[in-house]
Amino acid sequence: MNNHGVRETEVVVIGAGQAGLSAAYHLRRAGYEPDEDFVVLDRSPRPGGAWQFRWPTLTYGKVHGMHALPGMELTGADASRPSSEVIGGYFAGYERAFGLRVHRPVAVRAVRDGQAGQEGQAGRLTVESSEGLWSARALINATGTWDRPFWPRYPGQELFRGRQLHTADYPGPQAFAGQRVVVVGGGTSAVQHLLEIAEVAAATTWVTRRPPVFREGPFDEEWGRAAVARVEERVRRGLPPQSVVSVTGLPMTEAMERARAAGVLVPRPVFDRVTPSGVAWADGSSADADVILWATGFRAAVDHLAPLKLREPGGGIRLEGTRAARDPRVHLVGYGPSASTIGANRAGRAAVREIRELLGSSQPLIPAAV
């Protein structure tokens, strides 16, 4: 700690989900020591990243495309257990196995340029957190999206007499027993919610802003690469990233086939307004509702980076690899094209490679196979 009460380190990692733990693992592999050369700050109360907040009926067997963290496989998991328990336990074991020493719960409020007038702080970054101030030469931001649920706005929304909630607050299907529910959204979470709620609700209505695209057959490697490339192109242009699932479409499962045949998985275009008793369309049709469930996704949780002025005119943060184009000290992992579990792993490794070069590390290169 320097004379100004600021703790100094080489790298600060913000977030301990898949991307943050991958970055921390690769920092260790490169010879950096936790709490000496780097620190990991996580705002969540326990290990598990966003997974710890998932609803209890999202069992591990329903998780689509969970990829193991680097260096330690997830084996023997009970598919019937909640994913929050399985993955939370796996992340906790991973932190112990590699001695990552995550600081939690720690909220990062802002990241700023170091104070040039303070001795040794020119060219460094100052991280303002609930744990105090940290000074670093580089930053790996791995904050994901869970903290920023997106709520669209429609006329009359504030007049609705029922309950409105977001996927981030979804408690499981039993909370909707006997109720009329409108599910808004065209992604995987919306479909999962709809299929569960339809089993217990009095009625369900599914509305989507765009017609959902269902994809038959497996998502092979070539298709996955093409989808990631489309997301990456937006990020290179400085536009806000789309989710990978928005360009892959929805995988058609047997349960979804049955729901479509039963008339549950039949979308309507999004309504024009919300009424006190439900939702209404311009053609005069309407649907009564006790609950509106907004499965409308999330946005990147990067507001704490605002003092660095990283955003482009298009509204996004332009990346060159994982490095912010406007500040080579800052890397974003789990953002845009790396917002998948396997993408987060690769991004963590790539960020550490570039940070080694930035810091002029004498440590050996990370083996390419790691």
* Conformational region of residue 249, where left means phi above 0, alpha means psi within -120 to 50, and beta covers everything else: left
14 pLDDT tier (thresholds 50, 70, 90): very high
DSSP bridge pairs for 138: 11
Parallel/antiparallel/unpaired status of strands 286-288 and 163-166: unpaired
Q: Confidence class of residue 4 from pLDDT cuts 50, 70 and 90?
A: low
42-58 pLDDT per residue, tens: 999 999 999 999 988 89
DSSP 164-200: EEEGGG---GGGGTT-EEEEE--SHHHHHHHHHHTTT
Say if CB 184 and CB 296 are below 8 A apart: yes
Encode pLDDT of 23-44 as tens digits. Answer: 999 999 999 999 999 999 999 9
pLDDT at 302: 96
pLDDT tens for each residue of 185-209: 998 899 999 999 999 999 999 999 9
The span from the CA of 264 to the CA of 56, in Å, is 22
Write the pLDDT tens digit of every residue in 66-79. Answer: 788 999 999 889 99
State the maximum Cα–Cα separation within the chain, in Å, rounded to a whole number.
70
Average pLDDT over residues 317-343: 87
CB-CB contact of 33 with 52 (8 Å): no
Q: What is the dihedral of CA 45, 47, 53, 58, to 10 degrees?
A: -160
Both tokens of residue 287?
């649907």
pTM (predicted TM-score): 0.87
- Of the candidates 89, 59, 95, the one whose C-alpha atom is nearest the C-alpha of residue 75 is 89
Q: Name the one residue in this structure whose structure tokens are 């997106």.
A: 150
| CA–CA gap between residue 338 and residue 260 (Å, rounded) | 32
**Could you tell me what percent of the chain has a pLDDT over 90?**
68
Is residue 40 helix, strand or coil? strand
Gap between the Cα atoms of 238 and 36, Å rounded: 34
Q: How many of the other CB atoms lie within 10 Å of CB of 121?
A: 18
Closest CA to 352 of 9, 8, 126, 13: 13
How many residues belong to the chain? 370
Distance CA 217, CA 248 (A): 12
The confidence band for 370, taking pLDDT boundaries of 50, 70 and 90, is very low
3-state secondary structure of 31: coil
Are 198 and 224 a contacting pair, CB within 8 Å? no
The tokens describing 314, both together, are 């298009």
DSSP state, residue 53:
G
* Whole-angstrom distance, CA of residue 295 vs CA of residue 170: 9
In whole numbers, what is the pLDDT of the chain averaged over residues? Answer: 88
Q: Tokens 């845009």 sit at which residue?
A: 336
**Can you tell me the distance from the alpha carbon of 341 to that of 177, in angstroms, rounded to the nearest whole number?**
33
At residue 187, what is the residue type? G
**In whole angstroms, how large is the CA radius of gyration of the chain?**
22
Contact 51, 88 (CB under 8 A): yes
219-to-3, 18, 23, 67, 262 alpha-carbon distances in Å: 55, 21, 26, 14, 26
- Over residues 78-91, the mean pLDDT reads 95
Contact at 8 Å (CB) between 17 and 145?
A: no
